[in-house]
Amino acid sequence: MGNNDINLSLIGELLHLIENAPPGITARKLMVEHYLSVDATDMAAGAIEELHILSPRDTEVKSWYTAYCKPSISSNHGNSILKKESPPSVQAGKPKPKAVLPESTGLAGKYASFRSRLSSLFQNKPSAGKHNGKQRHSATIKEAKFIDTARNRLSEENAVATETKDKLSKVALAMRADSPNALPMVMKVLEDFIASSSSTPDEPTEAALDKIRDQLAQQVQILKAHLPQYLAIYPDIVFMHMEHEKLKRKYVNDETMLGDLVSDIPRDKFIASEDGYAWDMDELQQAVVAQDGVMRNPLSKHMFTLRDIQLILLHPLGKKLGALQLEQTELKKGVRTQTIEHMERLAYILLEDMADDALESRIAIDEFSAFIATLPASEQQSIEKLRVPAKDSHTGQAFDGSIGKTIRDAKGNKICFHKAGDFIRQAAAHLRQ
């Protein structure tokens, strides 16, 4: 058995379903099962790689991927005896997990290659006459049973998918009509889904939780596709709470900034940022206030994403942070072009001065300090209070201070002139935006 035993009629149906109802996980699994049943392992491996990208947590997909796509340790060891090092071009061609692949090597490219190989099979397939003129009945009884079972499974799955889409479409319409109650509506729908998926009295396994998480994520995506932008954040909020309360998600931090367990944070105070940290909103809003409204992760010192900022400002405890954001915007507007040009000249001197006594840098700092003293009070306040999203070009560590504080620290030898120049250069670029 091999490539010539592939039932192209069934594969054609499966490909049609995948194209018309992506991502078509069930159809792809049936395709893999069929390839394996006829020993077409090369075709199976290609389909498994696509499945692994689309559904990496699926237990069945993991086992297939390990068996048919991952090189075994023994084969690797054997190759290493013959060849101590793989050519750089081969190493570079291997995609890293979770990396964004270019189209030529990503899912789209693999799918195109896969279809091309199938086309060649269609062309090289023996004609019906060579198989007694009965294409359908040329299959073995085992294969015929598999095909019937596959079609039944697809029919059932499509019926469930259609019912789910219709249900979520109605929820989206209700959310549009009553946006103040949008969050409770989504909460009920997704809580009901998890309750129905976890009907067994036994404690769910990690694999079972992963499966529920994937299914829940699919429901969230379907719902978001039916919602306008201003409502699309609500399914994400509910998904965040379900991961925390029902799906036992692990976060970067096990404790809050004040030492409480993340698992004990109540729903009305809980949020999770996209970098994997969990927060007590009461603690987080105090930390952001202490940073003069700069939306920076207090633990990692990296800036929050736009989605994180939206989530924080939507939370009842984060609403007052919006005023600080507005203040920072106004402070940015309060710095004139002439001042920005002075900052650019100062940054250039600080970064280029390599003299042991750093005399040129000291003079430039003194001149800039004197210049600031001549500015209007409102602009001096901007220089003093504006927080800039900048990070050390060498270490990647976020800078934590204003322009005024950086000037004072450099003058008092608390930071080196080069680091001060690095920050001021980025601050000037930020002000020009």
Instruction: Render pLDDT for 163-184 as a digit per residue (tens, 0 to 9).
Output: 677 788 888 899 999 989 999 9
- Angstrom distance (rounded) from CA 147 to CA 129: 22
Cβ–Cβ under 8 Å, residues 31 and 54: no
Helices 141-177, 8-20: axis angle to 10 degrees equals: 10
List the chain pLDDT tens, one digit each, 433 residues: 556 677 777 787 788 777 766 677 888 888 888 888 888 888 888 889 988 888 888 888 888 999 998 664 444 444 443 344 444 443 434 444 444 444 344 455 555 555 555 555 444 444 444 444 444 444 445 555 565 666 666 666 665 566 677 788 888 899 999 989 999 999 999 888 888 876 555 677 888 888 888 888 888 988 888 888 889 899 999 999 999 999 889 999 999 999 999 999 999 999 999 999 999 999 999 998 887 777 889 998 888 888 898 899 889 898 888 777 766 777 777 888 888 899 999 999 999 999 988 899 999 999 998 888 888 888 888 888 888 878 888 888 888 778 888 999 998 888 899 999 999 999 899 888 8
pTM: 0.54
How many C-beta atoms lie closer than 10 Å to residue 147's C-beta?
18
pLDDT digits (tens, 9 = 90+) for 77-100: 444 433 444 444 434 344 444 444
The ranges assigned to domains in the chain are 3-125, 160-327, 334-432
Token digits for 368? 């800039």
